[in-house]
Structure 1
């Protein structure tokens, strides 16, 4: 007799980059976009298409933010990606003549030439079928994947002080997805897995009341009590979201802990959180929160012990010299890049098989005692291929092993929500997936001026737009620029990334755009050269109807 599946595995991927088109090339800008598009989005989609051809269904849940959808639907960017991939082939050929790097590196030239030729052929095929969004929509209609929605420009929702702005971000973001996917999503990847319950909003522009050892600020509150985020989600038709395990841990009444020093729950702690395998309903709402599993998922994403750090995998940071592809393996995490050993694709492929088998074993062991449970592993899509070169191969190997294992089954969050909805209700605390699970990845002394700039821009935009002033194209672009200013990536780049200058530059640029457009609107003028430039460059979010109405509510 074939044993019944002992539990379910819900893999969730979050496909997100901010609007990069027209805003620089390298090291941050369109080069980053093309790296993620070619390195992750195309290979992961190809994996999903192969699984679909084999009859696999309910494979995984794919979140696609409106800024990503807008960029992959841009014909100019799609053409430029083809040119970029062809350029990578030439770069691979150039590697053949870098003989001072040793024969193993030279021999990788052919490997990389074929790799990029294959990607270019697949990209060409995808574009001939309508592009990535068309393929994703077809996979969703076939039941292979669930598509999650997202707010228009990926703002850090816990710190948005205006309920109307939250509703507008959701409305325009979800409507944009209907445009390309054909239906409205029921699930949402909350940006940065941020959550805020009902109450006054924390003020990131004010000096903190206290900063703990991890750098997490306790912020003063401002304004009247506002609805919890789950109330906004329910009003938008969303019935399930992703949150961090730490959010449920504290919501279940457990004392907070040091999530930096100990990123995983101990066995004793995990036993105190059965909601890890069921999810919860948030407060009095019918919105389900599914937590990303730190212990199981950490086998991939942990910087200290995750698979991508294996000595045989390609080292993301060892780029080599001009005219070569990254051609060195991790070797030893403590070695400098110029001391790494050459990459060996066959050896890396063997580790992919071993790590996929190990992960499947972890799933079997974890779910064996929980016949009704689900393990939710959530990652940025860009981890697979862009950051972890072997990631797409590992993903396909794992999903095939799970599908062939009678003790395991894959599920989407929507399918799980429908068949086994959570029963327990929890009032959840303010939190995120970020450093120390609070606001420390977005709020600090270095970003306080950015948050003040955003507040000032909100006031400036509302003042200018009041009463319906301005020509429609300027009003819409003003709402668009303000929405882009709220993108959560900008403060994150300053506090947790390595491109602080880019984040600061983007904030200044969008704030200046708001000011310029507001001047034109107030003067009752038409578009000038700068306004036309902004309209040509900043074309996402594609929908701003709700955002504009939130700034200038109908009388």
Structure 2
């Protein structure tokens, strides 16, 4: 399973995050992974993998200007290869890599041009699903952290607008979703992320006060919107099955048959619902990517962070984790290619070790799509080797979650605990003293939007833009970037910016002086989600049911 997600970056900065971040993911991960899937389709492979595409990604890759700019960006990578060829301050071994990088990026530029001629990535992904090669998952409109949303109407609206967006480009609503951050919350009062925690454990996981009313579990929302299956992290099911706590940053050994950990080898029905939860199997997934180790750290693979300065591509290999970037060995593509073959074969052996004693059972290996090609330069080659190796293996078979659910409907029911994929598998990756102001800002913005929009009178475009700003403010990416220390300032600026625009619009609506110029100025930059019908209805349930401009 691959999860294709970035927050909304269009018109919000260029470098080093902003649109540069988008182009890095699009150009070096989403494009080459899609090319691989088309190659596998041409070879006759079917039911290959499940690909999650969030509405924010779908909106941005459909943008014509961004598509044109990605072509320019890829051309810039080709030009950088030429700079590297003549870089007189670099060793000859580094200059000699210029042809390797030139061929790689020129090929991606050509493929991008071909994809755009065929209607863009959305058309290609949809065609791959129609051909039975992949299953596409959707998600809520702006990827909010659902366990800590306190308004059921806004949860429903995020789902409704997100699933409707997916249906517009695929022709049908998705059957499954990759729940944002693999977050889950059962029925009961919601933890208050705006309040000081009563305790914080050694892992940073806060115990937050719960003072509100009992709210539906997330599976009740999913069921109401026709979602049949979702992804959670392994500890969610293991805890539900009575498994003991452990250090979840360390790859666990495969669970013995009948042990609580073996629950991950099939789906389970959540509570009394018909929604199935499938869990990422950490005993397999962590061989590839984990908090502490994984194949991309192998000594022959390219080191993304050893850049060598301006004018060259990263051209050094991992070498030794104790060495600083300026002491790394020069990258050797052929050695790296051989290592991808070894690592693909190793994981196929791991799969046999887990599944040979479990006939008919399942391993879910789930990753961010951005891992393959961007964070792990050789990752797409590794993925292709793994998938082709499995196809040639008489003892293993790939599947999508939709196919698995249809062939093997789960019968086991479990009540799941509140959880996520984040640190210690709780809220620690989104709720800290540093992020608490973000949650407080979100709650203030929700209250302000409800007040300003009450009654549904006039200013349709401004009202729709209020809903957009609130939805973008709710993205789970902003607090996560702060807790991880990855461009925390950018995340804080985005929260402040969306909140400020929301309040400007609410001020204008409340005094009845909405200027078209003001709305257009904001909307030209923040034009997602495109359709906020359900978000508007959630904020103003008594208002007239109009489709916003």
Partner secondary structure for residue 214 of structure 2: strand
In the other structure, the counterpart of 1:182 is: 171
In the other structure, the counterpart of 1:132 is: 121
In the other structure, the counterpart of 1:97 is: 86
104-113 or 249-258: bigger deviation = 249-258
In the other structure, the counterpart of 1:495 is: 483
Q: In 2, are the aligned partners of 1:303 and 1:309 still within 8 Å (CA)?
A: no
In the other structure, the counterpart of 1:18 is: 7
Partner secondary structure for residue 202 of structure 1: coil
In the other structure, the counterpart of 2:522 is: 534
Cα deviation for residue 275 of structure 1 reads 1.4
Mapping of 1:337-416 within 5 angstroms? 337-416=325-404
TM-score scaled by structure 2? 0.97
In the other structure, the counterpart of 1:278 is: 266
Partner secondary structure for residue 377 of structure 1: coil
226-235 or 92-101: bigger deviation = 92-101
Mapping of 1:211-230 within 5 angstroms? 211-230=200-219
Q: In 2, are the aligned partners of 1:384 and 1:392 still within 8 Å (CA)?
A: yes
Cα deviation for residue 489 of structure 1 reads 0.2
Q: In 2, are the aligned partners of 1:469 and 1:522 still within 8 Å (CA)?
A: no
In the other structure, the counterpart of 1:417 is: 405
380-389 or 270-279: bigger deviation = 270-279
Of 466, 469, 475, the match for 1:481? 469
Structure 2: segments with no counterpart, 5+ residues: 544-549
In the other structure, the counterpart of 1:107 is: 96
How far apart in 1 are the matches of 2:443 and 2:351? 45
Structure 1: segments with no counterpart, 5+ residues: 1-11
Cα deviation for residue 104 of structure 1 reads 0.8
Cα deviation for residue 222 of structure 1 reads 2.7
Partner secondary structure for residue 63 of structure 1: strand
Q: In 1, are the aligned partners of 2:141 and 2:162 still within 8 Å (CA)?
A: yes
Deviations 1:12-51 (A, max 9, x none): 1000000001000111110000000010000000000001
How far apart in 2 are the matches of 1:150 and 1:270? 33
Cα deviation for residue 512 of structure 1 reads 0.3
Mapping of 1:387-466 within 5 angstroms? 387-466=375-454
Partner secondary structure for residue 468 of structure 1: coil
Count of aligned pairs: 543
In the other structure, the counterpart of 1:469 is: 457
Partner secondary structure for residue 242 of structure 1: strand
How far apart in 2 are the matches of 1:453 and 1:470? 26
Q: In 2, are the aligned partners of 1:193 and 1:433 still within 8 Å (CA)?
A: yes
Partner secondary structure for residue 421 of structure 1: coil
Of 334, 353, 358, the match for 2:322? 334
Cα deviation for residue 422 of structure 1 reads 1.4
Higher RCO structure (Cα 8 Å, ≥6 apart): 1
How far apart in 2 are the matches of 1:72 and 1:371? 40
For residues 364 and 283 of structure 1, do their structure 2 counterparts lie closer, same or farther at Cα, with a shift above 3 Å needed? same
In the other structure, the counterpart of 2:547 is: none
In the other structure, the counterpart of 2:495 is: 507
In the other structure, the counterpart of 1:151 is: 140
Of 280, 284, 306, the match for 1:296? 284
TM-score scaled by structure 1? 0.96
In the other structure, the counterpart of 1:516 is: 504
How far apart in 1 are the matches of 2:481 and 2:420? 16
In the other structure, the counterpart of 2:239 is: 250
